[in-house]
Each structure stands twice: as structure tokens, then as C-alpha cells.
């Protein structure tokens, strides 16, 4: 589930672990989530250390650990099915490692657990006084000042032949955006996910930027802080539903693979490439506005 807001929410789930010394570390060293890292060094560094701070950016989390002898940094990416939780109770006596609990930090009266059924998640690790390069080199946050409409426009001009859906999923420019957020953004922007980035007008690029920023901010607010159910006015609550209909038009939503991912879009709101919007539910194919050719209406 984890995209921008969910990652922030999962980060906070480890808050109860902050300030408490790690008494032991348990992990599944052969699990794919540890690919490319020295799990023995990880255990040695975390054992006896205290998590003192955490942060989330994009889909990445960072936990800072302190020991009398030095600082280390634990990075966690949740992949597709990763979750963090703290299990209260008398340490390991009350806690039996579940099948996919791949990293367990044992503390005095609780365990901090990273679980991931599909193993697409990833653990990163770094020792040193300053945060690691993989953290500091993350692209500018969507909700920050550096994410301007010019940044989005420049990127669209670069990825001219990529469908918008694929463009929004490019983490190098849209850090933290995932499948549902991309669909939500395009739906709100009134842009068809198969439109090529290079086909956007200045106004459309600005709209794309605006809606990207809005959805990211709202997701952080509504999911990152409390994980409240999103309003039914969002596409989110309808996109997987059976007999799904657009909350704006009431018309049936379309699901198809675009940009390599299952995509949900609304025919009445998002004119396909080569069409333009005429009325609320009516699209005209071909040509430019004013040069209408064939006319058809979606269900």
C-alpha cells in the first residue's frame, strides 16, 4: 500500500520505539529485503543502539541510531507489502516471530518489527556521523518549494513520448507518487493517462503540477497523520470497487494497463489522446476544437 502518505504513517508507527535501547536484533539474513547489505554488520551496529529520530521522504524512511560509539542510519523502503509496527509486551517471551517479520528490534518491553510478505521492500544501512548519500540525494519533495511548475514542465518536455501515467510514476521527479496517487492526480487534472507528456499545453502542465502538489499534500495530511478514510469525492474510493463509477460524472470508470500499470480513468473527465472535451460527458474525436469530426458519447 505504501505511497507518500502511507510511508509517513508507517514511519510514525515506530515512534514508540524511539528513545529505547535495542537489546537484541533478530532477522532473516537470506531475505531479499537485505539484498546487497552486510547483515552481520547491521546487527552489530544496531545491537545496543538507541533509535533517536526518524524521517520519511518519498517512499523512503530513515531511522537514526545512537550508541556510545558512533551513529548509524537505518533506511527502510516498504516495497509493495512492507509494514512497520511495534509489538508491546514482555520482550521476546510474548512475541513469536511471524513468517514475514524479517527484522525485529527487541527493546525492554516491546519489539519494533519490519514485516514484508512479498519481499519487495528494502533495508539500507550506513554508519557515520552524517546521513547517508542515498538519503540526502533524494529528489526534491513534491510538497516543497523546489517543486515548481517549471520543474514539471521541463520534465514533460524531456519525457515527450512517455504516457503521463508512466511519467508520474518516475520517482526521480515525482518522489513518493505511486499507482493510486498517479490515477488520482490525472483524474483531477482532467488528463488522460495515455496522453504523451510532450503533448501537453502550458496550461495543462500547470494543472498537472497543481494537482500533483494538491494530492501529495492532502495524502500527507489525511493519511500521514491519522490514516483517515479518504472522502468519497476522491477517485481512490472507487477505483477498485466493483461496478465502479466516477464520483464526478456517475459514469462507469475504465480500467486498463497504461504505462505498464493497471490504470483507472474516467471517460467523462479525461479525454483520450486525439480528442477534446466538449460537454460534460461528450467528447469529440480528431482535429482541434472547432473542427469537430466524429462525435460519440461514453456510457
The reply to whether 161 sits near DNA by the rule CB under 7 A is: yes
Nearest-10 crossing angle of helices 149-158, 202-219: 120
Alpha-helix residue ranges (DSSP H) falling in the chain:
4-13, 39-46, 133-136, 149-158, 164-168, 179-189, 202-219
The reply to whether 117 sits near DNA by the rule CB under 7 A is: yes
User: How is residue 150 written as a grid cell?
Assistant: 517549471
Give the residue, chosen from 162, 207, 266, 275, that forms a contact with DNA under the rule CB under 7 A: 162
Q: Is 2 a catalytic residue?
A: yes
Query: Left (φ > 0), alpha (ψ -120 to 50) or beta: where does 260 sit?
Result: left
Residue of 67, 221, 261, 277 marked active site: 261
Number of residues located near DNA, criterion CB under 7 A: 35
The reply to whether 230 sits near DNA by the rule CB under 7 A is: no
Give the residue, chosen from 51, 75, 163, 271, that forms a contact with DNA under the rule CB under 7 A: 163
The reply to whether 160 sits near DNA by the rule CB under 7 A is: yes
Give the residue, chosen from 56, 62, 153, 166, that forms a contact with DNA under the rule CB under 7 A: 166
- Count of residues for the chain? 299
Phi, psi for residue 118 in degrees, rounded to 5? -90, -5
- Between vectors from CA 180 to CA 175 and to CA 181, what angle results, nearest 5°? 45
**CA-based nearest residue to 112, from 14, 6, 27, 10:** 14
Q: Is 184 a catalytic residue?
A: no
User: Given the complex with DNA, which of 106 and 264 has the nearer CB atom?
Assistant: 264
Give the residue, chosen from 23, 171, 237, 285, that forms a contact with DNA under the rule CB under 7 A: 171
Give the residue, chosen from 41, 70, 88, 118, that forms a contact with DNA under the rule CB under 7 A: 118
The answer to whether 178 and 3 have CB atoms below 8 angstroms apart is: yes
Q: Is 261 a catalytic residue?
A: yes
Q: Report the site for DNA in 5-64 (rule: CB under 7 A).
A: 6, 32, 58-59
Q: Is 3 a catalytic residue?
A: yes
Counting Cβ atoms within 10 Å, is residue 298 exposed (0-12), middle (13-18) or buried (19+)?
middle
The reply to whether 195 sits near DNA by the rule CB under 7 A is: no
Q: Report the site for DNA in 79-98 (rule: CB under 7 A).
A: 79-80
The reply to whether 245 sits near DNA by the rule CB under 7 A is: no
The answer to whether 295 and 285 have CB atoms below 8 angstroms apart is: yes
Give the residue, chosen from 159, 210, 221, 281, that forms a contact with DNA under the rule CB under 7 A: 159
**CA-based nearest residue to 208, from 181, 227, 189:** 189
Residue of 59, 173, 213, 239 marked active site: 59
- Between vectors from CA 98 to CA 97 and to CA 101, what angle results, nearest 5°? 80
Give the residue, chosen from 83, 104, 111, 178, that forms a contact with DNA under the rule CB under 7 A: 178
Catalytic residues, by residue number, are 2-3, 59, 261
The binding site for DNA (CB under 7 A) comprises 1-3, 6, 32, 58-59, 77, 79-80, 99-100, 117-120, 158-163, 166, 169, 171, 178-180, 197, 240, 255, 259-262
Amino acid at each position: 500500500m505504501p505511497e507518500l502518505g502511507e510511508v509517513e504513517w508507517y514511519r510514525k508507527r515506530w515512534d514508540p520505539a524511539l528513545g529505547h535501547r535495542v537489546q537484541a536484533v533478530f532477522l532473516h539474513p537470506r531475505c531479499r529485503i537485505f539484498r546487497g547489505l552486510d547483515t552481520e554488520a547491521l546487527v552489530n551496529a544496531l545491537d545496543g543502539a538507541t533509535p533517536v529520530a526518524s524521517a520519511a521522504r518519498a517512499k523512503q524512511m530513515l531511522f537514526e541510531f545512537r550508541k556510545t560509539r558512533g551513529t548509524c542510519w537505518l533506511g527502510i523502503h516498504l516495497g509493495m507489502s512492507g509494514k512497520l509496527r511495534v509489538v508491546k509486551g514482555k520482550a521476546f517471551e510474548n512475541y513469536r516471530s511471524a513468517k514475514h517479520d524479517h527484522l525485529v528490534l527487541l527493546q525492554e518491553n516491546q519489539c519494533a518489527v519490519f514485516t514484508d510478505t512479498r519481499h519487495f521492500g528494502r533495508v539500507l544501512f550506513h554508519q557515520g556521523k552524517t546521513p547517508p548519500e542515498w538519503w540526502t540525494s533524494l529528489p526534491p519533495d513534491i510538497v516543497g518549494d523546489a517543486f515548481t511548475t517549471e520543474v514539471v514542465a521541463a520534465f514533460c518536455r524531456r519525457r515527450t513520448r512517455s504516457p503521463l501515467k508512466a511519467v508520474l510514476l518516475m520517482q526521480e521527479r515525482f518522489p513518493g507518487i505511486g499507482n493510486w496517487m498517479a490515477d488520482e492526480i490525472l483524474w483531477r487534472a482532467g488528463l488522460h493517462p495515455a496522453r504523451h507528456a510532450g503533448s501537453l499545453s502550458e496550461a495543462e502542465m500547470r494543472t498537472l503540477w497543481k494537482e500533483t502538489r494538491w494530492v501529495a499534500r492532502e495524502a500527507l495530511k489525511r493519511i500521514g497523520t491519522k490514516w483517515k478514510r479518504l472522502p468519497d469525492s476522491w477517485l481512490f474510493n472507487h477505483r477498485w470497487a466493483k461496478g465502479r463509477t466516477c464520483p464526478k460524472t456517475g459514469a462507469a470508470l475504465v480500467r486498463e494497463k497504461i504505462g505498464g500499470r493497471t490504470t483507472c480513468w474516467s471517460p467523462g473527465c479525461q479525454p483520450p489522446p486525439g480528442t477534446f472535451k466538449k460537454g460534460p460527458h461528450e467528447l469529440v474525436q480528431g482535429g482541434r476544437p472547432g473542427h469537430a469530426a466524429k462525435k460519440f458519447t461514453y456510457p
